[in-house]
A and B are shown apart, each in its own frame.
Chain A
Amino acid sequence: MTTINWRRTLTYVLVTAIALAIAVPLAWVLFASLKRKSEFFGTPWALPEGPHLQNYADAFVTARMGQYFLTSVLVTLLGLVFVLAVSVPAAYVVARYEFRGRGLVEVALLAGLFVNVNYIVVPIFLMLVGWDRALADVLPGGFFIDNPGILSLVYAATSIPFTIYLLTAYFRSIPAEYEEAAALDGASRVRIMTRVMLPMARPALTTVILFNFLAYWNDFIIALTLLPGEGKTLQVGLLNLMTAQKAAADYGRLYAGMVIVIVPVLIFYALIQRRLIEGMASGGVKG
């Protein structure tokens, strides 16, 4: 009996240590975001003397994190709309219809799972620059680079394989009787897809939305490449803040910026964590 208790205690200690290794730096960032500049020269473990909220005002306004926040929201939402609009019908058709070339489509999409966006971001960038140059007479300002809409389109396009893969598997698991009954009642194909199948695929849709939301919101490589101008996303803004603060040694604004980036994701995570973990176990692993 004692060995078992020992073991349990040891496990608690180990797991608690790991949990602390995650929680302490996060809590520290929160505290550091409330410190004055002078406080950063003492020991990093001291608590802030008082809530120095000026850091947040600086981050939001001077460092333009407020503006970047809106860009990120826009790009993420648009990306989700795009990816669902094209992937849901495609996945449904692949799951339920026989057509010539279906095997090829499935294999191509499956291969697409193995192509990471970051492998191909350079050619994507060059392609968009090329399009801009070709259209220089019509649109001298350029259209494809520095366009949040195009960025969300690239996000959507590069997550199509994963999205279709997950949705197809789910559509296939739904018995066909529902559609047959609806067809007998005279429902059109579009109606069957949107009114019968789509509501039943809610769990898979939620999973897809969750993982794509995190991917779009957290990306910075593609955003850094495709939005080189003033209109940045939140992650790129934070990266700039990081570089700037290293030189200026004025850390308060950086940590306030980090809190601004972390808090929405944490709230989102807390709200949907059960779904997220279930979704991960049932079909999608994303890393």
Chain B
Amino acid sequence: MPVGGTAVSTPSGSAGRAPVAAPSGGRPRAGGGRRRGDGVFVLACLLPALVLFAVFMVVPTVNVFRMSFYTWSGFSPDMRFTGLDNFARLLDDEQFVRAFQNTVALLVVVTVVTMGLGLFLAAIMTRQRLRGRTLYRFILYVPSVLSVVVIAAIFSAVLDQENGLLNGALRLLSLDALRQVWLGDQQLVLWSVAIAMVWQSLGYYMVLYMSGMASIPEELYEASALDGASAGRQFFAITLPLIWQNLRTTLTFFVMSAVNLSFVLVRALTGGGPDGSSEVLLSYMYKQAYTNSSYGYGMAIGVVIFAFSFLVTLLVSRATRREPLQF
């Protein structure tokens, strides 16, 4: 999911009411004023993008909500309107409740660890000016360009019960007691997924925060050092407040991308198993739709996902609101 560092200007009220291609109020524009044929040009430029957007994003999104009120077993024309039945069934579905719990647990753990560790590492790497920073940065960013299938394949190689790197290393170190069935144990599998998620996203956020912190003027740190502030105090009094807006945007979008990443990773790494213990909301929706051919029921889960991500985003955004600071 994309986030902007630059704010998109909110459309002004007058723009909505202005006649087609009216001269702009304040903004200078090509040609200086209104020209004949502006309307045609605007339409020609805009239409292809809007059509594609409408057909492949707006319509399917509306369909998620619409189909959630129907019972539909796939490709037969027999679609029965059942109102809120699908949602009522969700409440009694233990598998769904578990998928929901797993999603929330992954979200909380992965967000806290990735953000916390990312901030911490970015701060010490920026403040201490380590040698070889470029190389570290290069390596840490690598997982962000790899596909999730590759990451899943790497982690199944690392976590394999018999020939895995982790168990192999534990055996070499004579720590056989610590060997685990990392992906086959109902208690452990979710942690394995969480570790893979952190592995994938830590470097990305670290690099992002490093570039935010690099623009904080050095004088602030020098002045506070003269006042005897410790590195920890500098972090909380200078670094954190000054990159707060940056942190806030990334946090909001991280939550949404984590909902998605958990699905893609689970789909490729565990398939939701063993016995549904690593199922997350999106993977359960996918399973209901394709494996079980309960499209209506699957889309009800889709609606829950939409509502859930929206609420979490809103909540995070509210909870982190602060007065913006400038340096």
Q: Are B57 and A158 in contact, CB atoms less than 8 angstroms apart?
A: yes
A125–B161 CA distance with the chains assembled, in angstroms? 36
Size range of the chain A interface in the assembly: 35 or more
CB within 8 Å: A-B pair count: 337
- Residue-wise, chain B 247-274 has the 8 Å CB interface mask toward A (1 for contact) of 0011001101101110110011000000
Chain A residues with a Cβ under 8 A of chain B: 7-8, 11-12, 14-15, 18-19, 21-26, 28-29, 32, 40-41, 43-45, 82, 85-87, 89-90, 92-94, 96-110, 112-116, 118-120, 122-124, 126-127, 129, 153-154, 156-158, 160-162, 164-166, 168-169, 172-173, 176-177, 179-180, 182-183, 189-190, 192-193, 211, 214, 217-221, 235-236, 238-239, 242, 246, 251, 254-255, 258, 261-262, 265-266, 268-270, 273, 276-278, 280-287
11 pairs from A and B in contact (CB 8 Å cutoff): A11-B128, A15-B130, A41-B163, A116-B257, A116-B259, A166-B4, A172-B9, A189-B31, A261-B150, A276-B141, A281-B5
User: A236: which B residues are within 8 A, CB to CB?
Assistant: 149
Flag the segment in B89-97, B299-307, B319-327 that touches A.
B299-307
A2–B281 CA distance with the chains assembled, in angstroms? 51
Partner of A19 from B8, B11, B140 at Cβ < 8 Å: B140
User: A110: which B residues are within 8 A, CB to CB?
Assistant: 8
Give, as a whole number of angstroms, the nearest-CB distance from B315 to chain A. Answer: 14
Q: A22-B203, A93-B46, A221-B264 are in contact. Are A107 and B11 (CB under 8 A)?
A: yes
A26–B142 CA distance with the chains assembled, in angstroms? 10
User: B55: which A residues are within 8 A, CB to CB?
Assistant: 157
Q: Are B125 and A15 in contact, CB atoms less than 8 angstroms apart?
A: yes
User: A19: which B residues are within 8 A, CB to CB?
Assistant: 136, 139-140
- Not counting A153-B56, A176-B30, a sample of 12 additional A-B residue pairs whose C-beta atoms are within 8 angstroms of each other reads A87-B49, A89-B48, A99-B20, A108-B58, A112-B53, A115-B57, A122-B286, A122-B290, A123-B61, A169-B8, A285-B2, A287-B257
User: B24: which A residues are within 8 A, CB to CB?
Assistant: 98
Closest partner residue, chain B, to A242 (CB atom)? B153
Q: Are B52 and A180 in contact, CB atoms less than 8 angstroms apart?
A: no
Give, as a whole number of angstroms, the nearest-CB distance from B233 to chain A. Answer: 15
Chain B residues with a Cβ under 8 A of chain A: 1-6, 8-9, 11-13, 15-25, 27-32, 35, 37-39, 41-42, 44-46, 48-50, 52-53, 55-61, 63-64, 67, 75, 121, 124-125, 128, 130, 136-150, 152-154, 156-158, 163-165, 168-169, 171-172, 199, 201-204, 207-208, 211-212, 231, 249-250, 253-254, 256-257, 259-261, 263-264, 267-268, 282, 285-286, 289-290, 295, 298-299, 302, 305-306, 309-310, 313
| Interface SS of chain B | helix
Give, as a whole number of angstroms, the nearest-CB distance from A233 to chain B. Answer: 10
Q: A119-B306, A160-B52 are in contact. Are A189 and B30 (CB under 8 A)?
A: yes
A95–B150 CA distance with the chains assembled, in angstroms? 39
Partner of A114 from B31, B268, B309 at Cβ < 8 Å: B309
